């Protein structure tokens, strides 16, 4: 695995949603590094990717867990970003956002609202949520890092992006006002 700057030179064989993510980041002038790899379906599989993304970063990179959640009635949907090693307790989050009985949302909703599949969940999926059906939730610890890592809407590549670019460029351009939570 090798860390590369920006989008891949050759795009044949890559999905449109991945290319849209690169187009979006490039249009905002966001610098990012990319690593291509085998499908990463679990946090354990992300450990080597994490080490590679952290190369040359002073404070390392926070590889985020991206959890797609919903309320029991499946009428409210949430994308939660939290540090990969941090445990997630629905009770703690439910109290902060005023929504009881949170659970993982069905894959069908993930595809409908974010145009992504399980294992590929990423904040960049919010690009596809034009109707703003998904509320962005960010654990405060993610915002304390210099960089964060995410997928470009597919799980065979990972990106390293400055948190400052996330908060000052990416999130405002997507129009999803985040709620910062403490887990």
pLDDT tens per residue across span 95-108: 999 987 899 999 99
Residue 23: CA count within 13 A, CB half-sphere: 8
Mean residue pLDDT of the chain comes to 90
- In terms of Cβ atoms closer than 10 Å to its own Cβ (0-12, 13-18, 19+), residue 143 is middle
The proportion of the chain whose per-residue pLDDT surpasses 70, expressed as a percent, equals 92
DSSP track, 3-22: -EESS-S--TTS-HHHHHHH
Q: What is the CATH T-level fold of the domain 4-181, as seen in this structure?
A: YbaK protein (3.90.960)
**Cβ contacts of residue 22 below 8 Å, gap of 6+?**
6, 7, 8, 152
Determine the Cα–Cα distance for residues 114 and 133; give it in Å rounded to an integer. 9
Determine the Cα–Cα distance for residues 147 and 15; give it in Å rounded to an integer. 25
Query: What digits encode the pLDDT tens for the residues 41-78?
Result: 666 666 777 777 777 666 666 678 899 999 999 999 99
More confident residue, 173 or 46: 173
Token pair recorded at residue 154 = 């597919």
Query: What digits encode the pLDDT tens for the residues 18-33?
Result: 999 999 999 999 999 9
Place of tokens 């609202």: 113
Determine the Cα–Cα distance for residues 117 and 111; give it in Å rounded to an integer. 6
């Amino acid at each position: 695995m090798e860390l590369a700057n920006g989008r891949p030179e050759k795009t044949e064989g890559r999905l449109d949603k991945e290319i849209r993510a690169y187009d979006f980041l490039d249009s905002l002038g966001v610098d990012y590094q990319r690593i291509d790899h085998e499908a990463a379906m679990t946090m354990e599989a992300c450990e080597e990717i994490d080490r590679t993304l952290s190369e040359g970063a002073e404070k390392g990179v926070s590889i985020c867990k991206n959890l797609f959640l919903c309320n029991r009635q499946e009428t409210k949907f949430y994308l939660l970003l939290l540090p990969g090693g941090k445990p997630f307790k629905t009770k703690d989050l439910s109290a902060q956002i005023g929504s009881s009985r949170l659970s993982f949302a069905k894959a069908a909703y993930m595809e409908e609202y974010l145009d992504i599949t399980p294992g590929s969940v990423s904040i960049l999926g919010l690009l596809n949520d034009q109707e703003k059906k998904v509320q962005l939730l960010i654990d405060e610890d993610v915002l304390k890092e210099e960089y964060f890592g995410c997928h470009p809407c597919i799980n065979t590549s990972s990106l390293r992006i400055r948190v400052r670019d996330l908060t000052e460029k990416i999130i405002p351009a997507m129009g999803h006002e985040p709620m910062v939570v403490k887990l």
